[in-house]
Amino acid sequence: MRGAVLRRPSTSLAVLAAAGVLALGACSSSGGKKAEESANPAPGAGPRLKIAMVTHSGPGDTFWDIVQKGAKAAAAKDNVQFLYSADPDGGKQAQLVQAAIDQKVDGIIVTLAKPDAMKDVLARATAAKIPVVSINSGANDSAKLGAVAHFGQDESIAGEAAGTELAKIGAKKALCVIHEQGNVGLEDRCAGAKKTFGGDLQNLFVQGTNMPQVKSSITAKLQADKGIDGILTLGAPFAATAVDSAKEVGSKAKVGTFDMNKDLIASIKAGDIWFAVDQQPYLQGYGAVDELWLLKNNGNVIGGGRPVLTGPAIVTKDNAGALEAFANRGTR
Q: 268 pairs with which residues across the strands? A: none
- Domains of the chain (ranges; CATH) run 49-153+281-300 (3.40.50.2300), 155-278+317-328 (3.40.50.2300)
Q: Are 198 and 166 in contact (CB under 8 A)?
A: no
What pLDDT does residue 59 have? 63
Which DSSP symbol is given to 169?
T
Measure the CA–CA gap between 318 and 312, rounded to whole angstroms: 17
The chain-wide mean pLDDT, for the chain, equals: 88
Measure the CA–CA gap between 13 and 24, rounded to whole angstroms: 16
What pLDDT does residue 62 have? 84
pLDDT at 5 over 80: no
pLDDT at 310 over 70: yes
Q: What is the pLDDT of residues 223-276, one digit of tens each?
A: 999 999 999 999 999 999 999 999 999 999 999 999 998 899 999 999 999 999
List the one residue out of 101, 107, 98 whose CA is nearest residue 133: 107
pLDDT at 20 over 50: no
What pLDDT does residue 61 have? 78
- In order, the DSSP letters of 75-119 are HHHHTEEEEEEE-SSHHHHHHHHHHHHHTT-SEEEEE-SSHHHHH
Q: Which residue has the higher pLDDT, 60 or 95?
A: 95
Prediction pTM value:
0.81
Q: What is the pLDDT of residues 35-68, one digit of tens each?
A: 444 455 666 666 799 999 999 986 667 899 999 9
Poorest-pLDDT segment among 19-28, 101-110, 126-135, 156-165: 19-28
pLDDT band at 166 (very low <50, low <70, confident <90, very high): very high
What pLDDT does residue 208 have? 87
List the one residue out of 288, 291, 296, 290 whose CA is nearest residue 106: 296
Percent of the chain with pLDDT over 70: 85
